[in-house]
Chain A
């Protein structure tokens, strides 16, 4: 046996599975034949399991992978599809180019986990084209794990189209460890009576730079969208949130809701809401709160015996939950 031994990637697989476990997920899901899953380390596909009703074509790129995910019309995928991405070494690049097509009336939920526990100089780029068919529902939850070094550049970008009566519900969570740079850009185009909910929860620490742009294009009549962003910043971390809602369809409704909490005087935050009413029957609203934690909330918990620090932790944990 010379030269041609395929490297053993079980260590990487185990590490990605472990991160999934830490998120409260079930690592065994990655080995279950009943649960659709995809596990990718850098540009290597470590696991791929498609199940009836869902097709996943994945091919490696020099610096990542390209995936095509197709859910057949009318299919209800009972168990969430597990997606695990990550880079374990200190340095590396991972680019995930993906296309999701969700057939009409189908229901599917994705749980994505992205792990970069040792990152000192890692780039993680995601570009997704998503089409949610008529009456279909797609949920996409993405949770990030970062080490303590703040050496990751995370650049998720998604263009989402939701057809008539479809629903797209997403939550992006980056609260463990330090990221470095996060620049998220999600844009949803909603057809008639379509619904979108974009939730993001981010904890910036050290010198983290966080930029979020989340945009709702309410194109169809009665389309409804919500952008909800919760950002906590400490140390010298900085965040800039841009929420956009464009009311094009009659009776469409959009709401932007952003809360940014600053711990300490060195963190910086800004929130920019952009509301554009194209059809005068559309209704767009926004609320934004930037500041330190509400004194009354803290003192309520302190009056139940928590120290100030414990009270802060409790409030922050709730906000980012």
Chain B
């Protein structure tokens, strides 16, 4: 296990009778921003949920290790207390919970050193306009996603799983999001950055390519992006990875 913060071994996961993850092997090193790059429907969110331990995402086979400990059987709360958190692709809304309260809850869970006002400013939401707003569906999708990033900043977890943090936020602010991710990374958070966009994966330290429920390649970002572009972007073997042998030879 060495200095891997997260280690996934041969993970299989079935949903409603369909095999979504088919033997995922992944090693994320402490301190890195590691992108998971894959087309829509390849199982990226499923992998994120399995790492967080959400209900209904218990692996059929395989283990998940965090900081050398086997966490495969641990609850969501236990994993969070070990320092893992997840920012959902489509975050939940809450009636009657203010952004301030949400950020405070997040902050209490971790070792965050940012003030919650700073967290909001960093994601481009002026605190005075947002702190007392409710985290309900009157926030736009983009605003809600930014709040989710702010909450992760407030928590400063050991491992942040960010599921498509760019989706729903306008293209112009992609750089800003990446800047936020770098900030949290500099603060000591290892980031698993889930995305289907090459330009996003390029900004990571390393990347892995997920296709058909498997990691087909892990390495330098450029190399992985090239692999994805050449072989997989338009591929039709989502969850039918009959081509993977050929691809693996590359």
Residues of A with Cβ closer than 8 Å to B?
230, 259, 294-297, 299-308, 314-315, 317-321
Contacts and interface: CB of A to CB of B under 8 A. Distances in A.
A10 B60 CA distance: 68
Interface stretch (B33-41, B105-113, B114-122, B240-248): B105-113
Interface in B74-111: 75-77, 79-81, 84-86, 88, 91-92, 94-97, 105-106, 108-110
A299 B55 contact: yes
A109 to B, nearest CB: 21
Closest 6 CB pairs of A and B: A318-B96, A305-B109, A321-B96, A302-B76, A318-B97, A305-B80
B193 interface: no
Given A295-B55, A314-B105, A306 B92 contact: no
Interface residues on B, range: 20 to 34
Contacts of A300: 88, 91-92
Nearest to B52: A303
26 contacts: A230-B95, A259-B95, A294-B92, A297-B92, A299-B52, A299-B55, A300-B88, A300-B91, A301-B105, A302-B76, A302-B77, A303-B79, A304-B106, A304-B151, A304-B155, A305-B80, A305-B108, A305-B110, A306-B80, A306-B105, A307-B77, A315-B94, A315-B97, A318-B94, A318-B97, A321-B96
Interface of B: 52, 54-55, 75-77, 79-81, 84-86, 88, 91-92, 94-97, 105-106, 108-110, 151, 155
Contacts of B86: 303
Contact of A297 (B80, B81, B94): B94
A259 to B, nearest CB: 8
B99 to A, nearest CB: 12
B206 to A, nearest CB: 24
B88 to A, nearest CB: 7
Contacts of A299: 52, 54-55, 76
Given A296-B88, A314-B105, A302 B96 contact: no
